[in-house]
A and B are shown apart, each in its own frame.
Chain A
Amino acid sequence: MDLHRATVTANEQIMPETHVLDLASPGLAKAARPGQFVHIRCGPGWDPILRRPMSIFKIRPDGISVMVRAVGEGSTIIASSPLDSELDVLGPLGKPFTLDPSARRLAMIGGGYGVAPLVALAVEALGKGCEVVLMVGAATADYVFPADELPTDVEYAIATDDGTLGHKGFVTELLPRYLDWCDAVFACGPTPMLEAVARITRPARYGVAGAMRSEKPVQLSMEQHMGCAMGVCLGCVVMTRKGYQRVCRDGPVFPADTLVWEGSRA
């Protein structure tokens, strides 16, 4: 982990308001792991003041790519970065996903923008000979992550809120189809979606309700408003069985069974 001056070598809009930025930085490329993130400064000034956390979307030999959704002032500044401009990038940060060598069939669930770290994970898993199903959810077809950004070996399943593409409904409704098949589950997206993944997989993990017979690991990448991203400010905590833990340093990837969801701390 270090501070990097990373040159923007490509900036492509892949969905409405969503850009993929290729950042040249051999240092980042060497250190980055799927599930980790970088913290990017929104220009040289102090307004907006805080950096923006971005999941690592692709890891290339000469740098990384990030997927930036321009939803606010800061992310719009970053998404608008011109070619050859330099970004002030802190990272890579946080704990990555863990790929257990014995897990051969992986189910991944991404909600909207949360697909980003799963793409990096899918690429690594395929390289190790794993089979990968990636389920993605979006509001409408326009916001569905484009399949041509994925390796062809990934089985791709889609859900949209309005039914304009794939299954009509929540992406988590696709998950039961793959529970018997998979060895491990990985998810990233909005907190309600992650809570649903934890809930759906919980009986399976405990061998209840006739789903899976053996315990299967479920890893969730959590989102939280972040200040420093270095474990200092304690702004980004989530409740776990060990008390509050920092998304930026103890996460963002947590085993599902360590998390305590709002209203269910007991």
Chain B
Amino acid sequence: MHGLELPNPVLVASGTFGWGTEYQPLVDIQRLGAICSKGITVRPRDGNPTPRIAETPAGMLNAIGLQNVGLRAVVQEKAPIWARWHVPVIANISGESVAEYEQLAGTLDGVPGIAGLEVNISCPNVTDGGRLFADTPKSAATVTRACRAVSSLPLMVKLSPNVGNIVEIAQAVEEAGADCLSVANTLLGMVIDVKARKPYLANRTGGLSGPAVRPVIVRMVYQIASIVTIPVVGVGGVTCLEDALQYLLAGASAVQVGTANFVNPRTATEIIDGLEDYLTQQGIRDIAEIVGAARPPAARPAVSTTA
């Protein structure tokens, strides 16, 4: 990631690894490429009513609603813990307005323990009629530019897959000053309770994650990495070495492990081990040799972007 040296290309995704401390009894967290924190908002949030999660074929829906302790508690209570760690912690931030993103990015800038920012532009934008900042190139760029202006931290912007043309959004975010892209957030979905004849989740809709979404996101990474010049991090259904390799070959420089953490908390460290073995066996000295290797050499600008 521009401005941030990661020890390896396997990160854990926001919302699936808490504040990093919860899995410490089970996982050697210092071996991770980085930890993307639980989403942080300016004020503490209770989140949505229950049920909040639903299981789907090879995936799950969640509608947690950004329950978190809020910015002040993160700075006072979480960051001092992170500052003692070797593993970089990337703070995931969500705002309801551009001003809130500015406040989050500005406040976290220079705080010991915070190695970078992941700007989640897929949360509801209440100041814009319920639309998402990730919906249009203009709004995505506005948030990115606002964060860039107040923060010297490496800036990773997390895109939404629920858009018509994600490449267009990626380009806009790159031009607005992002150092890196995480592709992508969860896919909007719904489960109907057929007995009750109503949506199962209290929030009605939720975000689909897990292996079920992987082919969709691999395609998006393939498209985006062909167009932008900044690094892309693949996020969606990574459960094993082969999944991670798919993303790398599609053009991702790194991957984030998400839902798989719930099933096997050691997924990320097992992938790190597997990747080391793979590179040795294949005689690959630099992982950059395989990044994007699945793309034809001359495939750059002509990828269709219809979802």
Chain A residues packing against B (C-beta within 8 Å): 1-3, 41, 46-51, 74, 88, 90, 224-238, 243-244, 249
Contact = CB atoms under 8 A, between A and B. Distances in A.
9 contacts: A1-B26, A3-B266, A228-B16, A228-B262, A232-B17, A232-B23, A235-B53, A236-B50, A244-B46
Contacts of B57: 47
A233 B26 contact: no
Name A's interface SS. Answer: loop
A78 to B, nearest CB: 14
Given A2-B25, A233-B15, A244 B263 contact: no
Interface residues of B, number: 34
Contact of B16 (A3, A224, A233, A238): A233
A238 B50 CA distance: 8
Contact of A243 (B15, B46, B59): B46
A239 to B, nearest CB: 8
The residue in B15, B26, B53, B60 that gathers the most chain A C-beta atoms within 10 A of its C-beta is: B53
Given A1-B25, A233-B53, A234-B64, A46 B262 contact: no
A234 B15 CA distance: 9
B25 A232 contact: no
Contacts of B265: 3, 90, 230
Contact of A232 (B50, B58, B262): B262
Contact of B64 (A2, A88, A235): A235
A233 B50 contact: no
Contact of A47 (B52, B58, B264): B58
A2 B210 contact: no
Contacts, number: 94
Interface string B23-64: 101100000000000000000001100111111011110101
A227 B239 CA distance: 16
Contacts of B46: 243-244
A49 B52 CA distance: 16
Contacts of A232: 16-18, 22-23, 261-262
Interface residues of B, dominant DSSP:
loop
A90 B261 CA distance: 12
Given A47-B58, A49-B211, A237-B67, A230 B23 contact: yes
The 7 closest A-B pairs by CB, nearest first: A235-B53, A228-B262, A232-B18, A47-B58, A235-B52, A46-B211, A234-B64
B139 interface: no
B259 interface: yes
Contact of B62 (A41, A226, A227, A238): A227
A234 B263 contact: no
Given A46-B210, A51-B263, A236-B53, 20 more contacts: A2-B25, A3-B26, A41-B264, A46-B260, A47-B57, A90-B26, A225-B50, A227-B62, A230-B18, A230-B265, A231-B18, A232-B17, A232-B22, A232-B23, A232-B261, A233-B53, A233-B64, A234-B67, A238-B50, A244-B67
A235 B202 CA distance: 12
Contact of A227 (B26, B47, B58, B60): B60
Given A46-B58, A49-B211, A237 B263 contact: no
Nearest to B53: A235
A175 to B, nearest CB: 26
B50 A49 contact: no
A226 B53 CA distance: 8
Interface string B79-95: 00000000000000000
A234 B44 CA distance: 14
